[in-house]
């Protein structure tokens, strides 16, 4: 019985690890509706780690992804609207749009770039 419980708990841990991870994404910051923020023309998520500083991407600055941003109250996102930003946070995979529970935001270009 104990072995069954341990296997079940390990499987749950692996599922949680597959669904949520700390990532960095570069894209265009948009306010879709009042206080609802999205990152459009976004790159694929790149694994990061908690506490790591937000760095400008050395790869592409835009992509074809979109992410809904959550946990935004701590950040002055209106000051970054319509700019290319690097966002770091916990990726929550979902359909049709995945979410990023953000931990940091940094502008890397004064305007948004076209999708690649």
Looking at the chain, the whole-number percentage of residues with pLDDT higher than 70 is 72
Q: Give all domains of the chain, ordered by start, each with its CATH number.
A: 20-109 (2.40.50)
20 — phi, psi (to 5°)? -130, 125
> CB of 100 within 8 A of CB of 42?
no
| pLDDT tens for each residue of 43-78 | 999 998 766 555 555 556 788 999 999 999 999 999
> CB of 63 within 8 A of CB of 42?
yes
Mean pLDDT of the chain: 83
3-state secondary structure (DSSP) of residue 9: helix
């Amino acid at each position: 019985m104990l072995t069954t419980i341990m296997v079940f708990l390990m499987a749950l841990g692996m599922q949680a690890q597959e669904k949520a991870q700390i990532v960095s994404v570069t894209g265009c910051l948009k306010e879709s509706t009042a206080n609802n923020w999205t990152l459009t023309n976004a790159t694929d998520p790149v694994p990061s780690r908690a506490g790591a500083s937000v760095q400008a991407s050395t790869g592409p600055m835009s992509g074809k992804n979109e992410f809904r941003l959550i946990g935004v109250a701590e950040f002055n996102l209106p000051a970054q609207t319509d700019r290319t930003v690097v966002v770091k946070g916990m990726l929550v995979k979902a359909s049709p749009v995945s979410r990023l529970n953000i931990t940091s935001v940094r502008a890397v270009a004064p305007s948004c770039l076209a999708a690649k």
